[in-house]
Amino acid sequence: MDGKSGRKCKTPLHRSICLETFSRRALDMILGLVCLLPLLAAKPQDSFPITTDDIQEKIIYDVVIVGAGLSGLSAANELRRLEPNLSVLLLEARGQVGGRVRTRSMSTMEGDIWVDIGSQFVSRSDIDLLSLAQEHGISLYPQSTCGDSSLYLSGGVRKARCVYSHHYLIE
C-alpha cells in the first residue's frame, strides 16, 4: 500500500516511496489543476467537478517529486532518511529511473562495452550532479569521442571525428 489512499503501489522503490509513470499531458494537467485550485477556492462555489481518464481516484501523498533522474532519486532518498514516515510519489514519464543519463552494456565482437542511450553526458562542470553521483557511490567513467566506438553522422554518412572530451557516463 502507498500514500494515504490505501491503494497498491505498482512500482515500490521503498515502503514509503512509490514510482508511477505519467504521460507528460497527464502531468501537465495535474500540475495545472493544482495551480488553479487555490483560485477556484476563492470563488463562491461548492464544488468543481473534474473528469478525466488520467485521474481515476483521489490519491493523497505528503510529497510529490517530478522526475526520477539522479536529482529526483536523491531527493526521495533524502526525504526517506530525514522523514521515514512521509509518503512520497515519484513521477517519471519514461517508466524507468535514471533520467537523461543512462548507459547499457552492449555485446560486440570485441566484448562487452558500455554505450550511452540517454540524451546527456555528465560534464566536469556539473558539480552538483557529480557530487550526487559520488555521494551515492555511482560509478562514472570517461566518455571518449574518439576510437572505434565513436559514431558521428553528417547527412547520414559516417565520418571520423575525434574531440577531447571532459564528459562522463554513469554505469
Considering only CA atoms, which of 108, 104, 116, 112 is closest in space to residue 151? 116
65 shares a domain with 108: yes
* Together in a domain, 65 and 114: yes
Please tell me the pTM assigned to this model: 0.48
Q: What is the DSSP string of 24-56?
A: HHHHHHHHHHHHHHHHHHTSS-S------SS--
Question: Does residue 77 fall inside a structural domain?
Answer: yes
Q: Residue 52 domain-assigned? A: no
pLDDT attached to residue 10: 66
Residue 48 lies in a domain: no
pLDDT tens by residue, the chain, 171 residues: 444 545 566 666 666 666 666 666 666 666 666 655 554 454 444 444 444 444 555 667 888 888 888 888 888 888 888 988 888 888 887 767 777 767 777 787 778 877 766 656 677 788 887 888 788 777 776 666 555 555 555 666 655 555 545 455 554
CA proximity to 94, closest of 25, 21, 28, 31: 21
Domain contains 9: no
pLDDT of residue 122: 72
Host domain of residue 152: 120-170
One domain, residues 114 and 124? no
Domain count for the chain, please give it: 2
> Does residue 51 form part of some domain?
no
For residue 168, count CB atoms less than 10 angstroms from its CB and return exposed for 0-12, middle for 13-18, buried for 19 or more.
Answer: buried
